[in-house]
Structure 1
Amino acid sequence: MCIQSIVTNCLKLSGLLVMSVWASPNWFTLNTAHFNVHYTQGHEAWARSAAQELEIVRDKVWQQQKRVLEGKADVVVFDPNHAANGFALPSTDNPLMALFTTPPQSDTAISNHASWQQLLILHEYIHLVHLSQPSRHHWKQVLRDSWDIFDLSQAMMPRWVAEGYATLMESKMTGRGRIYDNYTNALLTELAQQGGLLSYDQLNEGNDEYYSKAMAYLLGGRFLAWLEAHYSQSTLDAVWTRMRAVESRSFDSAFYGVFAEHPATLYRRFIAEFTYKAMSKEQQEAPLHSTLWQDYKYSATSPALSADGSKLAIVERDRKGRVKLNVYETKDDPTAEEEFIEQQQARLVADPKDIADVRPKVFAKKTLHTLEPINFSGIRYPKWYDENSLYFIASIYSQNTIHARRGELFKWSLDTGKVEQLTQELAIRRFTLSQDGQTIFAEQVLNGYSELVQIDTNKQEVTPLFSKQLSTLYDFPTLHDAQQQLAYLKHTLNQGWKLYIQDLATQEQRQVPMPQGYQYATQPSWSKSGDALYFVAGNRGSVDIYRYELATNALYKLTQGQSLFAFPMEQPSGELLYLSSGFQGNDMHQLPAIMPGQLVYELAEQDSMESHSIRAKSRQVQSASAQLEPQIQLPLAKIYQHEAKVAQYDIWQQSASMALGTQYTSASTSVLNVGVKGSDFLEQLSWHVGLTQGVTNNALNGMFAKARYQHGQSQWDLHIFDYKLDAQKQYESTLGYKEQHGVYGQFSRAYQWQQLRLQGQLSGLASKQHQQGHNVSENWLRVGAQQSWQYDNQSFAIGQKLSGYWVEGKTDGQDWQGQNITGTLFGKAFYMPMYVSYQFAKRQRQTLQLGGFSSSLLPQSRLVNMQIAPDLPFYAAQGNKYEGYGGAIALRASSPWLYYQQHQLDEQVFAQSYGVKWSTGLNGQTWLGKFAPAGLSDLRLDVGLSRVEGDKIDNENRAWLGLWYDL
């Protein structure tokens, strides 16, 4: 086939891709005095308010700490995961904040806020101010300003210190936050009573116990608050000043010089005091007359009883974060007890002197059905549609925004196991449904707006129940269909979560009374008759179950803080199920049917939430230590309308960094890469210029300049290069010498539809080279395509990749052509990833070279006639036809591969290798990689150790190590 016809067909394909490619989000920028706020289309209102809030936070933090960011910070406003989050990348010259606009839900550890925007901005800005302070060592700071990797390394502190301090400040400066949160206080109290608080060594990353990953925030923040209370704010602040001194100090060294004790020593004392208070509280608690109903292995959430109460659906997660939706019988399983008795009897028969196990507190309920995620992430909020099917929410990639996930409604048929998606691009979270399943009431979150909407699942029509406002959030819509009563939670600025009931027939609304001083409210659940509403609320550091009776407007407290209660549900027989938490995870308990409870007389005012105010919190903190300085606090939260002009995002606002890299391969050579790398904030335009110098044998030298422009799913690459490769100077010498300079360009465009991804590619090269004693020209044009597909249900997956291209070229006046095909079958079994692959390449009137490694100077995409193999030297062998067979397996994702690879040239086996290899890097496929500074993005690490064998080569061990930029 001629190259012209291929190009014509490729252009036709490209036209189809243009019509159906994912929509590319438009980015805009508004500038304030100290921030560049970048946001995606639709987020303008949220971004304008954030711009004003950023300036307020900056001013108040300066007053509080006398520290500030010296330059302008970039702030990105977007919604990638349909979940509340954010992150900061500290830097002295390119600081970054990422603000996720989806607000937190009422039953999370970050639900206690006057405004999600205010809390998020304060937390992330504290990160930047805390970690991005310049060094007082002049030359160290010069290096930080010019080298992003060194800059980031100098900004790092232990995770518990960084997150704990931001958590402390979020609470001190707002009077809300996680330090003053009833839910987290109740959680930590429960863990302390069980002896489950983490040791100092476990504080950074946890220990796989329940909620341990969050302890850097929850325990770290409280430990720092304890230090301020027992010493002073200025004493703790001195640690941060000492860490930026001319003298280099670690955190431990800076801490010891101020407190005259190691942090681990004082942390032990803090844990002892916290545990003492928790145990004292337990001694005063009334007995709880509940029984263990189900013992879950780890995390369990969002339980849902079927209409007749015979089945329970619940979402479970193991220690590795793997999710399943399980359906259990609610009645006891007699076979479980029979099997236990038979097992004990068998033990005693085998060993009459043995002692049998005591009877378990509860036998596991029978599992009827299990669903793992299938080509979507997560399973959340299951609801029964009928006795044989469930609705739930899961996250899938949005077709309107690249790399963004949204919550959509799915239906799972238990009889057939079929899962079908019911909504498209509706971006919904918690929901409730009518008995006929045709009407859904849900919280919809788009562009930072939380709305309560009614959805007709047949027509896909969405009707808002109230006008949307950035100042208002909704959660937990809960319908009693027979009574036509809709309960829901609502949050407004500077207030807290309040519980309302809407009569759908009359449109009358009532506010559910809350106990005076409450701060946490969540998880409403109707009684079977609809005459009462159960819910969970927090007060004075405890979380309890309440019952509100509609007829009498009376509120009853059913528990007395004896546990961390969650998700109360009334069974048809009247008993009340609930979840409780501990260091091992969640378990389900049962309260008796007759529970009159304690009538609550002291109620919060209906028009305000009687939580701890900012000033009350300040007085409370000050009372802990006479030395504590007065607090600077943020003003009441507002939705602002910043008047800055909006401009299209400017790719020419570039930043640059020194780019250093090195690569070593025992089979060929080692090189040092020195250069400068730059990009705009979103890395739409990136560039890299550098010099490669051989370190030992001087086998490879050269220089290069690269540029890449990305827009949506289209990408343009341009390389200018000049290099010398003398294969005879390699560690393992082979024949071959080549000098080449020229220019390379490539255009590619991708399309994705659900699990299928296609990419078309057109590239070419024009060069001059010195080879075998004379100068020749080499030009080629390549056209190709890549395709991939996968099916993933978490524990098992299967997928395939297929790529191929046709290339035509001319070298020294002689025409040549060829084709390459690569096929890979990949998947995982029992969570272990694996793959097998096949590579084919053939050239007519041209040779293929085997061996060598990809680098910044010699990227694999440009080496059209070379088959890369880092455990073989450059020019290890050559031929006209190449075939490669390989496979690998790993213990888990992102871990090293145990691999095997065979190389055949002209239908003869040249070499085989086997060993361990691993590769990782930061790139634009993740948001963190996309927003990373220029000196960090596209950074790649390659490591390998292998055994190479063959009839034509020496059998020996090979190793390679590379840290380089793959732009």
Structure 2
Amino acid sequence: MVLLWPVQVLAAPTWHTIQTDNFNIHYTQGHKAWASSAAKELEIVRDKVWQQQNRGLGTKADVVVFDPYHAANGFALPSTDSPLMALFTTPPQSDTVIANHNSWQQLLILHEYIHLVHLSQPSRHVWKQTLRDVWDLYDVSETMMPRWVAEGYATLLESKMTGRGRLYDNYSEALLQELAQQGALLSYQQLNDGNHEYKSKSMAYLLGARFLAWLEQRYSQQTLDAVWIRMRAVTARDFTSAFKGVFAEHPATLYRRFTAEYTYQAMAKEQQEPELPSRLWQEYAYGARSPVLSEDGSRLAIVEYDKKGRIKLNVYQSEDDPDAEQKFEEKQRKLLEKDPLDVVEVRPKVFAKKRLFSLEPFNFSGIRYPHWLDNNTLYFIASTVDNANSNQRRGELFRWSLTSNKVEQLTQNQAIRRFTLADDGQSIYAEQVAYGYSELVKIHLPSAQVTPLFGKQLSTLYDFPVFNATQQKLAFLKHTINGNWQLYIQDVDTNKTIPVPLPKGYQYLTQPSWASDGSALHFVAGKNGALDIYRYELVTGALYKLTQGQALFQFPTAYEHGSLLYLSSGFEGVDMYLLPVLQGELVNELESRHQSGNENALADEQMRNVYSVQLPPAQIYEDEIPSQQYNIWRQNASLALGAQYASTSTTLFDVGLKGSDFLEQLSWHIGHTHDVSHGVLKGSFAKLRYQYNQLQLDVHGFDFEIDSTAETSSTPINDKQHGVFAQLSQQYQWGQFKLRAQFAGLVGKQAQQQQSASVHWLRAGIQQSWLYDQQSFAIGQKVSGYRVKGQTSEQDWQGQGFSASLYGKAFYIPMNVSYQYAKRQDQALQLGGFSSSLLSEMRMVNVIMAPELPFYSAQGSKYEGLSGAITLKESYPWLYYQQHQLDEQSYAQSYGIKWSTQLNGRTWLGKFAPAGLSDFKIDMGMSRVEGERFEDENRAWFGLWYDL
């Protein structure tokens, strides 16, 4: 059957809700089957966790089912009254640390629900819990634990309640054993966030879970559980004090003992391993994956990434580089010429291969799974932005011509992960993932026609399709619910599919690759906490084990004369090795095709020490569960407190109430602001925002007074205003090009120097932006303009404004310059002051905000501003320079540092966060301000407030 990809991928999502006794599950229409099954699984997990822990949630949890990044993940935001779980429906691939599961849905739900139950327990201190009930920001701050504790405990229970998971995963165990043998297990202080060594950020999960399991085994489950009880006591305790009160030791002390024992066991294992007859073939700076040789073997393409996750697709010459050896010899010769008694460097284990080509991502994220079409053309997968939702990304196929350095996107809306080329590059076999379904399909690229190879089911996953043109055979991996990954070979001419025999007791299985002539298939399998390379021979049907667990084997690749290249990693990163031709050890004990994954996983129950309460075997529940359109009127509210300080004169305190529905489609904020220092600013406000896809409506009601007579101002003003403001905006996006149209208006009254007047104005504006991002280099621009017409009392006025900014990045260092222009006829422009919950910049049409200057510090009819800034990293503070001109004369210049961040709807966490967290903004700065009309001085500002 031939299918075209569903057109609703392009449509904006419509949300629906399934309500159960304990959960509200929100999903988009394509995810209905996944969400319906999750609704049943959620209640089962809740009941089993209650049996195991005697703990639950005191309120219904919101659960969002979606697929933002086309990758396996999820997150939880603990709270005593607004707990949240986000479930990403794309399943994990076979070579990840989360591949060991009965079903992705079950493992994910259990892990995230444990986070909520573990971290959302109420305090037994009455007044503290009362404050948590009414103030979201304080509530969430009280749920925090060290990252390794939160993730380690969820990983521990994910494993002990299913018999699978990362605690019992062969890849995870082999990785930790390798690090232990290298003396590279993290210290206690490094366990939370890693130390920039390879895979160190994963250790909060992998080492954290094993340390907690060690504590349970050495002491008891009840002893560890007492730590969580003590953390919610009337007496305030952090994790360390709660831990010491139970174990009588600092957690770092026991962690040292745990790592010592683990290292001892790893070293004992190493002593039993035979010597591996491989040699180093290529060193990489840090991370590397997905190596692939060109058909003639002369070039090797590989994806590399550094400690900061920056990716490149590099192409190397596969033969040794004589120039590298010559340069080394020349360097040693010069050393001895300068100092004949010097000792020259030891000859390196291997000289670097010559790099021929390199590609960085541009306007797409990541580069994955390269494949050669010919010696000068590579295909690869990268993630692109979904035009219907700028927060969503999907995997698409790209082609890179090495000679011309031209990159072309070949597919649209195909949601591809791994793939293999067929029909001379006219078609691909690929794993296609949408709405939680993993399918193996054939895509004819010129026509974009998609042909499924098998029927799709949520209970079945596919990975690693590998086509051999010589034999016309397709190898692929398949995972069925409650089982392990299996390896199959299909004859594409006859569609006959046969299973590949696998070693008895295996659990981890991944990365199949064909021998050069297609006569054999190599792959990596894990057993007893070790990984090995296997070879399956098609003619004889024999399975051979080529290694004995001596390394962390990955990506076996056929090389010349029957040898193999493979990757292996340690704490410094990944390197490539050459394994000579080996007959290997014939595997006689093979896995029965009828044995379940749970039986494999629980082969040694005493060693695994699973809990007595276990989840039932996973299944996809297909019962029809009623759902309803998402209800924006189901609102949650929270106390909203804010504070802002500016050394120019003002210290503000905000108190209010903020609310929203779960998806932040309808949000509101009411409150009062008061200056607690000099009385410069006070007032009240009510705000409402409605968002539907790319349409946004903002409505503000306001009543405030600014008295700048106490400030350093050339024109002291007492300004009172009240009224209603509204703005409607719509955004359009085509790739990296964005366009936003805005229409706004205000009706109110204003009183200055005891003169009262009615005010109304209308403004129409447009904003356009574009970005070209090539990781180490970027350039982008933003242009906006507006026209405004208004009336104050009987006086008509009008004006216009324009701003332009140029953003750039060179050698990963961000920088920008911007220009702002505003002009009014028959109306004054005011300069100075800062945005706040009370004074929104979008509403103050005749005010140019500048936090380093006092409110209304100067006025004029024409304003021009020029600024520039640079920073080491986008999340770091910016070093900036700003110049202000009024009526063709320089008024002030400032320079210093500034920084701002916000939890808002531009991130998924901000979009789903409770009302008391979303739109929360932090900004700060320190600057030197100079001007001819005032004394030069140092100024600073700091704010914690809500920018709805």
Quote the Cα distance in structure 2 between the aligned partners of 1:144 and 1:618: 41
Per-residue CA deviation, residues 24-46 of structure 1 (Å, 9 max, x unaligned), is: 21000010010000001200000
1:804 corresponds, among 785, 788, 791, to 785
Quote the Cα distance in structure 2 between the aligned partners of 1:615 and 1:337: 52
- Give the counterpart letter for 2:406 in structure 1: K
Query: 2:299 aligned with 1:311, yes or no?
Result: yes
Q: CA deviation at 1:319?
A: 0.4
1:847 corresponds, among 797, 809, 828, to 828
1:608 corresponds, among 595, 615, 619, to 595
Quote the Cα distance in structure 1 between the aligned partners of 2:316 and 2:375: 13
Query: 2:125 aligned with 1:144, yes or no?
Result: no
1:639 corresponds, among 612, 620, 625, to 620
Match of 1:691 in 2: 672
Quote the Cα distance in structure 2 between the aligned partners of 1:253 and 1:668: 42
Decide which moves more: 379-388 or 611-620. 611-620
Query: 2:709 aligned with 1:728, yes or no?
Result: yes
SS state at 1:719 partner: strand
Match of 1:366 in 2: 354
1:863 corresponds, among 832, 840, 844, to 844
Whether the aligned pair in 1 keeps the contact of 2:519 and 2:538 (CA below 8 Å) is: yes
Match of 1:744 in 2: 725
Query: 2:367 aligned with 1:379, yes or no?
Result: yes
1:214 corresponds, among 192, 197, 202, to 202
Match of 1:620 in 2: 607
Match of 1:346 in 2: 334
Q: CA deviation at 1:573?
A: 2.6
Match of 1:766 in 2: 747
Match of 1:100 in 2: 88
Quote the Cα distance in structure 2 between the aligned partners of 1:827 and 1:196: 38
Match of 2:4 in 1: none
2:586 corresponds, among 599, 612, 621, to 599
SS state at 1:338 partner: helix
Q: CA deviation at 1:614?
A: 6.1
- Give the counterpart letter for 1:621 in structure 2: R
Q: How does 1:209-248 map to 2 (within 5 A)?
A: 209-248=197-236
Match of 1:958 in 2: 939
- Give the counterpart letter for 2:933 in structure 1: K
Match of 2:811 in 1: 830
Quote the Cα distance in structure 1 between the aligned partners of 2:287 and 2:91: 23
> TM-score scaled by structure 1?
0.96
2:474 corresponds, among 480, 486, 491, to 486
Quote the Cα distance in structure 2 between the aligned partners of 1:551 and 1:898: 67
Q: CA deviation at 1:616?
A: 4.4
Query: 2:648 aligned with 1:667, yes or no?
Result: yes
Whether the aligned pair in 2 keeps the contact of 1:519 and 1:609 (CA below 8 Å) is: no
Per-residue CA deviation, residues 354-375 of structure 1 (Å, 9 max, x unaligned), is: 1110000000000000000010
Query: 2:18 aligned with 1:30, yes or no?
Result: yes
1:514 corresponds, among 492, 502, 517, to 502
Whether the aligned pair in 1 keeps the contact of 2:713 and 2:858 (CA below 8 Å) is: no
Match of 2:521 in 1: 533
Quote the Cα distance in structure 1 between the aligned partners of 2:10 and 2:579: 51
Whether the aligned pair in 1 keeps the contact of 2:164 and 2:598 (CA below 8 Å) is: no
Quote the Cα distance in structure 1 between the aligned partners of 2:96 and 2:712: 58
- Give the counterpart letter for 2:945 in structure 1: W
Whether the aligned pair in 2 keeps the contact of 1:747 and 1:763 (CA below 8 Å) is: yes
Quote the Cα distance in structure 2 between the aligned partners of 1:35 and 1:510: 43
Match of 1:919 in 2: 900
Query: 2:163 aligned with 1:175, yes or no?
Result: yes
Quote the Cα distance in structure 1 between the aligned partners of 2:863 and 2:906: 31
Unaligned runs of 5+ in 1: 1-18, 623-627
Quote the Cα distance in structure 2 between the aligned partners of 1:159 and 1:403: 26
Whether the aligned pair in 2 keeps the contact of 1:22 and 1:713 (CA below 8 Å) is: no
Whether the aligned pair in 1 keeps the contact of 2:649 and 2:678 (CA below 8 Å) is: no
Unaligned runs of 5+ in 2: 1-6
Quote the Cα distance in structure 1 between the aligned partners of 2:125 and 2:143: 14
SS state at 1:573 partner: helix
SS state at 2:391 partner: coil
Quote the Cα distance in structure 2 between the aligned partners of 1:816 and 1:608: 82
Quote the Cα distance in structure 2 between the aligned partners of 1:320 and 1:562: 29
Quote the Cα distance in structure 2 between the aligned partners of 1:597 and 1:673: 73
Q: How does 1:313-332 map to 2 (within 5 A)?
A: 313-332=301-320
Q: CA deviation at 1:613?
A: 4.7
Query: 2:405 aligned with 1:417, yes or no?
Result: yes
Quote the Cα distance in structure 1 between the aligned partners of 2:518 and 2:900: 58
- Give the counterpart letter for 1:954 in structure 2: E
Q: CA deviation at 1:800?
A: 0.3
Quote the Cα distance in structure 1 between the aligned partners of 2:389 and 2:770: 20
Quote the Cα distance in structure 1 between the aligned partners of 2:470 and 2:415: 28
Gap change, CA 1:319 and 1:601, over 3 Å in 2:
same
Quote the Cα distance in structure 2 between the aligned partners of 1:609 and 1:563: 28
2:913 corresponds, among 913, 917, 932, to 932
SS state at 1:860 partner: coil
Q: CA deviation at 1:482?
A: 1.5
Whether the aligned pair in 1 keeps the contact of 2:830 and 2:856 (CA below 8 Å) is: yes
Match of 2:757 in 1: 776
2:635 corresponds, among 635, 647, 654, to 654
Quote the Cα distance in structure 2 between the aligned partners of 1:231 and 1:965: 47
Quote the Cα distance in structure 2 between the aligned partners of 1:956 and 1:276: 62
Per-residue CA deviation, residues 38-74 of structure 1 (Å, 9 max, x unaligned), is: 0012000000000000000000000000000111000
SS state at 1:735 partner: coil
Q: CA deviation at 1:668?
A: 3.2
Whether the aligned pair in 2 keeps the contact of 1:668 and 1:874 (CA below 8 Å) is: no
SS state at 2:40 partner: helix
Q: CA deviation at 1:954?
A: 0.9
Whether the aligned pair in 1 keeps the contact of 2:892 and 2:931 (CA below 8 Å) is: yes
SS state at 1:155 partner: coil
Quote the Cα distance in structure 2 between the aligned partners of 1:653 and 1:23: 25
- Give the counterpart letter for 1:119 in structure 2: L
Match of 1:708 in 2: 689
Quote the Cα distance in structure 2 between the aligned partners of 1:609 and 1:272: 35
- Give the counterpart letter for 2:68 in structure 1: P
Match of 2:193 in 1: 205
Gap change, CA 1:608 and 1:97, over 3 Å in 2:
same
Q: CA deviation at 1:575?
A: 1.6
Quote the Cα distance in structure 2 between the aligned partners of 1:105 and 1:859: 46
Quote the Cα distance in structure 2 between the aligned partners of 1:353 and 1:732: 74
Quote the Cα distance in structure 2 between the aligned partners of 1:421 and 1:384: 16
Per-residue CA deviation, residues 539-572 of structure 1 (Å, 9 max, x unaligned), is: 0000000000011110000000000000001113
Q: CA deviation at 1:508?
A: 1.1
Per-residue CA deviation, residues 620-655 of structure 1 (Å, 9 max, x unaligned), is: 334xxxxx9x52000000000344311000000000
Whether the aligned pair in 2 keeps the contact of 1:501 and 1:512 (CA below 8 Å) is: yes
Q: CA deviation at 1:615?
A: 5.3
Q: State the superposition RMSD in angstroms.
A: 1.3
Percentage of pairs with the same residue: 66
Gap change, CA 1:438 and 1:66, over 3 Å in 2:
same
SS state at 2:589 partner: coil
Whether the aligned pair in 2 keeps the contact of 1:667 and 1:732 (CA below 8 Å) is: no
Quote the Cα distance in structure 2 between the aligned partners of 1:115 and 1:22: 29
SS state at 1:683 partner: coil
SS state at 1:235 partner: helix
Whether the aligned pair in 2 keeps the contact of 1:518 and 1:611 (CA below 8 Å) is: no
Quote the Cα distance in structure 2 between the aligned partners of 1:42 and 1:534: 37
Whether the aligned pair in 2 keeps the contact of 1:290 and 1:591 (CA below 8 Å) is: yes
Decide which moves more: 823-832 or 599-608. 599-608
SS state at 2:420 partner: strand
Quote the Cα distance in structure 1 between the aligned partners of 2:906 and 2:94: 31
Decide which moves more: 766-775 or 239-248. 766-775
2:570 corresponds, among 576, 582, 592, to 582
Quote the Cα distance in structure 1 between the aligned partners of 2:643 and 2:829: 27
Per-residue CA deviation, residues 201-234 of structure 1 (Å, 9 max, x unaligned), is: 0000000000000000000000000000000000
